[in-house]
Amino acid sequence: MDRKQIDFYWEIGSTNSYFSWKLIRPIVERHDAVMILHPVNLGFVFRHHNYVLMDEPKAKISNRIRDLQRWAARYDLPFRMPDIFPIKTSRALRASLAMRRWDLEEAFIDALMTAYWEQNDATIADYTGLSAVAAKLGVDPDSLETWSESDDIRQLLIDSTNHALERGVFGVPSFIVDGEMYWGKDRMEFIEYALAKDLSAE
């Protein structure tokens, strides 16, 4: 039986990507699925769609923050809004792609999510923080920076973002299973249903 694939489009600077990162992995494990990670430069996507998050009504933004607190309490996650938000994320996104060289992409993303969204560590926006995370995973920080700044990795992030747009991704987190797109951290039930339905049909 072929393993099902979940394409996960994510951004380190996205609160909802943090929650989805925590919630999707148990689903992947339960269904023995394969998760393919696609970093997305969300700033570029927003500009592509002429969307400015902070232009939303203040009441809506305030409600978003309260809702994040509810999600954290519901799933017992140590989430907190960092003092510095938003941050420039392109280096972190490129570094996550570079970590594929050491087969540590998922572990690296997990460490970044923990650092920024749980430990209030905004240094991951630069190589000061990224190098520290890499070193803890046994990767030479200088090698990480060299690969992250390479033309190949820069192009890979551009291609990953453009690929997302071509597939209809307008925001993150987004998931694609069997050609169907699911947007948002609150779509886990639908994703799991799709996986269960597909698996039972084989």
| Domains of the chain from N-terminus onward | 5-201 (3.40.30.10)
pLDDT of the chain along its 202 residues, tens only?
Answer: 578 999 999 999 999 999 999 999 999 999 999 999 999 998 888 787 776 666 677 887 788 889 999 999 999 999 999 999 999 999 999 999 999 999 999 999 999 999 999 999 999 999 999 999 999 999 999 999 999 999 999 999 999 999 999 999 999 999 999 999 999 999 999 999 999 985 544 4
d(CA 6, CA 196) in angstroms, rounded, equals 13
With vertex at residue 151, the alpha carbon angle to CA 145 and CA 152, rounded to the nearest 5 degrees, is: 95
| Reported pTM | 0.92
Q: What is the pLDDT of residue 200?
A: 47
Which pLDDT value is given to residue 62?
Answer: 81
Report the C-alpha gap between 123 and 5 in whole angstroms.
33
| Token output for 164 | 């997302």
Residue 197: CB partners within 8 Å, gap ≥ 6? none
Q: Left (φ > 0), alpha (ψ -120 to 50) or beta: where does 32 sit?
A: left
